């Protein structure tokens, strides 16, 4: 082969050998570019990705601030404050006072205007003396029936018999006769005070049981000014009452000079009271004792209340008879009415 051609071929080989590395480099670069294109676009760390809203995210290593705990419903809604009590008035104070009884009982019988028997017994005692006042006497065997005494007894019997009442005690609970001493409440009214207001009793307080002494004195002045009850009696009649320091009664100035006319007035008052009370009817017989009627006339009639009680009735055993009858018809003919219980 000619030398010239050989040299040309060698030169061409050299040229081809120099391009190969370059092509290899080019090919390697292309592969690298392909690899780079194949990698996902989101090469940045997750924490560097912008949020969907476009805000720059916090670095991952930064700890999230603790959230405030949800408020408890009790924290959001404070407990309701108690409603303030309305200011007390004299009426509400009075109602509160009469509501605080030491005992609640039923009046079984009215002995006289200021004495009753009750059930159940309180501390074993059934007899109650209303305190702070005094009604004219009707039951004392050593005393004559005093003016307005039967009327006071009838008024008390009509209001209290069979009623549930409250008892309020003062310092002393019993008197020298072993009777309970109490203020008697019928509903919201103190019946002791009612008797004074209506003129059926004098105010009469004794130490140490003087809790309502002022109330009784005020009630008495109103009754005296209105001429009610004993305050409407003649002076001679007033002189027959007990002296309770109220300007009337036995021993007060002027009463000794009027004793003669007082006796006449007392007789007239007794006759008037007798005509107002049930009369002795056909078949009426006297009791055989303070508590009992004879077997042939077992029905008990009580003149103070105008009520008769038959055996087996609720109040029969505690009723002291003043007249006895063989039948209800005889008792009703005498002017009595049947007991409701």
Which of the residues are catalytic?
129, 137, 179
* Cα distances (angstroms) measured from residue 93 to each of 87, 88, 153, 190: 10, 6, 31, 14
Task: Find the helix packing angle between 149-160 and 259-276, rounded to 10°.
Answer: 40
Q: Check the CA dihedral 323-327-330-335 and report its sign.
A: positive
Which residues, including other chains, have CB under 8 Å from residue 129's CB and lie 6 or more apart? Answer: 114, 115, 175, 177, 179, 180, 181, 182
Residue 185 has phi, psi (to 5 degrees) of -105, 125
Under 8 Å between Cβ of 287 and 325? no
> Rg of the Cα trace of the chain?
55
- The pair of structure tokens assigned to 101 is 């009884």
Exposure letters 184-203 (e unless 16+ CB within 10 A, then b): bbbeeebbbbbbbbbbbbbb
Q: Check the CA dihedral 253-255-256-257 and report its sign.
A: positive
> Cβ-count burial of 37 within 10 angstroms (0-12 exposed, 13-18 middle, 19+ buried)?
exposed
Residue 133 has phi, psi (to 5 degrees) of -155, 170
Measured CA angle at 287 (ends 285, 292), to 5 deg: 135
Q: If you ran DSSP here, which 8-state letter would residue 118 be given?
A: E
Measured CA angle at 116 (ends 112, 118), to 5 deg: 160
């Amino acid at each position: 082969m000619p030398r010239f051609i050989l040299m040309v071929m060698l030169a061409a080989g050299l040229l081809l050998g120099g391009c190969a590395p370059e092509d290899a480099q080019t090919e390697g670069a292309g592969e690298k570019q392909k690899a780079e294109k194949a990698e996902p676009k989101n090469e940045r760390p997750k924490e560097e990705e912008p949020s969907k809203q476009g805000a720059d995210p916090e670095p991952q290593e930064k700890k999230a601030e603790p959230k405030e705990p949800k408020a408890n419903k009790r924290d959001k809604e404070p407990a309701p404050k108690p409603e303030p009590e309305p200011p007390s008035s004299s009426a509400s104070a009075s109602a509160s006072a009469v509501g605080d009884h030491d005992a609640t009982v039923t009046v079984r019988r009215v002995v006289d205007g200021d004495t009753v028997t009750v059930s159940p017994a309180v501390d074993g005692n059934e007899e109650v003396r209303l305190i702070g006042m005094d009604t004219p006497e009707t039951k004392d065997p050593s005393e004559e029936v005093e003016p307005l005494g039967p009327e006071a007894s009838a008024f008390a019997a009509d209001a209290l018999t069979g009623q549930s009442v409250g008892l309020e005690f003062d310092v002393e609970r019993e008197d020298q006769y072993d009777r309970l001493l109490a203020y008697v409440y019928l509903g919201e009214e103190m019946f002791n005070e009612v008797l004074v207001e209506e003129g059926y009793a004098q105010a009469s307080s004794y130490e140490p049981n003087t809790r309502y002494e002022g109330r009784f004195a005020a009630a008495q002045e109103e009754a005296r000014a209105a001429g009610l009850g004993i305050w409407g009696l003649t002076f001679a009649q007033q002189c027959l009452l007990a002296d309770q320091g109220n300007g009337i009664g036995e021993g007060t100035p002027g009463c000794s000079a009027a004793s003669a006319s007082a006796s006449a007035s007392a007789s007239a008052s007794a006759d008037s009271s007798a005509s107002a009370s049930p009369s002795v009817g056909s078949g009426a017989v006297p009791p055989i004792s303070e508590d009992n009627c004879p077997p042939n006339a077992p029905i008990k009639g009580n003149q103070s209340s105008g009520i008769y009680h038959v055996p087996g009735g609720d109040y029969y055993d505690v009723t002291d008879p003043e007249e006895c009858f063989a039948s209800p018809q005889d008792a009703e003919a005498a002017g009595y009415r049947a007991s409701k219980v």
